[in-house]
Amino acid sequence: MTGADLKVEFNRAIDAVAPGFLDDEISGFLTQAQLIMVKNLLGTNDATYLLAPLIHSTQLSMVPVSGSKYVDSIVYRTTLLPEILKVITDSVSTSVVDSITNNKLLFRCDVLSYENIAKYLKTQTNNPYLVRPVAFIGDNINSIYEDVLVVFTEELLSSLENYDTVSLYIDYIRYPRAIDVTDDVTDIELPKFADEIVNIAVKAALASLYMIQGIAGGGGAQQSIQNE
């Protein structure tokens, strides 16, 4: 099922009501519809199965975080890839390597939202005990986020003299590739949802027309009211 195939289905559904959409417009409606569908699936128990073509793994280097807020804590940061839509939280792990001895520690991370980070930072009045490192990830469904922070304790890293090489390992669901209706060769990434993508796109296209007509009609009505 290619983008060109989706265009045929889109036109078949909409031509009787509102023919004449350009290829770029149809591509835009289908691409946005695909993203809406993917975000809807993220909240289901079968998300990793249904969105398997979009799941990837990566290793990211981390750097220590400085600043008064973190002065007493061992905190590392990394910037996520722009293509990441959602991190699969039960896959998050980190490795810490002593570059002198080459000793390596590998941890599975607990994952929490940023609003809880203060509880896990060491201060004069707070000395948290961690069974494993804690990773803090922003809202990764409804907004764009860039950073992940991982908090360690001295106890977790006590077997290393130098913990200067830290990496984060994650599995994630990426944004789907844009749909191009002029492409009659490349299959879309989620062909099993082709009908749903087209249905969402058709509704969006019709809604855009009604909105334009409503604005035009509303302007006229407002003018009539003012004239009265």
Model confidence over 91-118: pLDDT tens digits?
999 999 998 888 999 999 999 988 889 9
User: Can you list the alpha helix ranges (DSSP code H) found in the chain?
Assistant: 3-14, 23-42, 47-50, 194-227
Whether residue 71 lies inside any domain: the answer is yes
Whether residue 107 lies inside any domain: the answer is yes
pLDDT at 120: 94
pLDDT at 14 over 70: yes
In 3D space, the residue among 29, 28, 47, 30 whose CA is nearest the CA of residue 38 turns out to be 47
Domain hosting 100: range is 52-174
Whether residue 60 lies inside any domain: the answer is yes
**Taking the model in full, what pTM does it have?**
0.83
**By the 8 A CB rule, do 11 and 4 touch?**
no
Whether residue 183 lies inside any domain: the answer is no
Residue-wise DSSP of 112-153: E-GGGGGGGS--SS-----SS-EEEE---SSS---EEEEEE-
Whether residue 80 lies inside any domain: the answer is yes
Mean pLDDT of the chain: 88
Q: What is the total count of domains within the chain? A: 1
pLDDT at 185 over 90: yes
